[in-house]
Amino acid sequence: MKSDAVAALDSISATEAFDPLHVARYAELFTSATIEKLPQTDREAMHLILLLVRVSSVISFDLEARAQRPSGFSSPGFYLSGILWLAGPLESSRLAAIAGMSRAAVSALAKTLVKHGVLLRSPSPSDGRSVIYSLTPEGTRMIATAFGRVNARESEWASALSRDEQADFVRLLEKVLRGSPAAGSTGDTGALPDPSTASPEV
């Protein structure tokens, strides 16, 4: 027989799991159900991180649906184009490093953006094996418009907190990052794993 927490978790639909009105309840139920199976679980830590991850996902999905796609971008396309808008033309390897993506992923994404007239692809004058990506005039116009729409939506999300609360929240998030396990005493540099070298997912 299912416990109350497991039964309640099982009743949440896929849509509700990412609905802003249900995310907090989902995180609480998921944590409670886990503790039933693993009583030694650090409840507060799990609830905190799970809620942070789910809220981040909800906001990311919302920004893509409400601001990025209406501006002509997928979320990855917006991110890649935004880097080029802010940093200027970049060689493919440098663009991949800044974006935290593999060169193959950048190449595939850039190919679509070139096809839609957002990016230009040109040979690198210093390395015949590399290419340089830059924004077209239309791509520049599109990404500037998209940034404005995204920031307007960001302001709507952030308005739930006062300016002082926003500043406090940023400081707390930065504190979490400074205490990252990756930056512990095990000799790690603090850098996150390179997604291009990660083991295959199951």
Question: Can you give the pLDDT at residue 127?
Answer: 76
What token pair was written down for 23? Answer: 């995310």
Q: Is the pLDDT of residue 9 over 70?
A: no
Question: Can you give the pLDDT at residue 170?
Answer: 97
Q: Which domain holds residue 9?
A: 1-71
Asked whether residue 117 is assigned to any structural domain, the reply reads: yes
Q: Is the pLDDT of residue 104 over 50?
A: yes
Burial of 202 (0-12, 13-18, 19+ CB in 10 A): exposed
Maximum mean pLDDT: which of 11-15, 129-133, 163-167: 163-167
Question: Can you give the pLDDT at residue 186?
Answer: 47
Asked whether residue 3 is assigned to any structural domain, the reply reads: yes
Question: Is residue 77 located within the same domain as residue 116?
Answer: yes
**Whole-angstrom Cα distance, residue 171 to residue 166?**
9
Asked whether residue 160 is assigned to any structural domain, the reply reads: no
pLDDT digits (tens, 9 = 90+) for 114-162: 999 999 999 988 877 789 999 999 999 999 999 999 999 999 999 999 9
**Whole-angstrom Cα distance, residue 113 to residue 137?**
13
Question: Is residue 61 located within the same domain as residue 76?
Answer: no
Asked whether residue 40 is assigned to any structural domain, the reply reads: yes
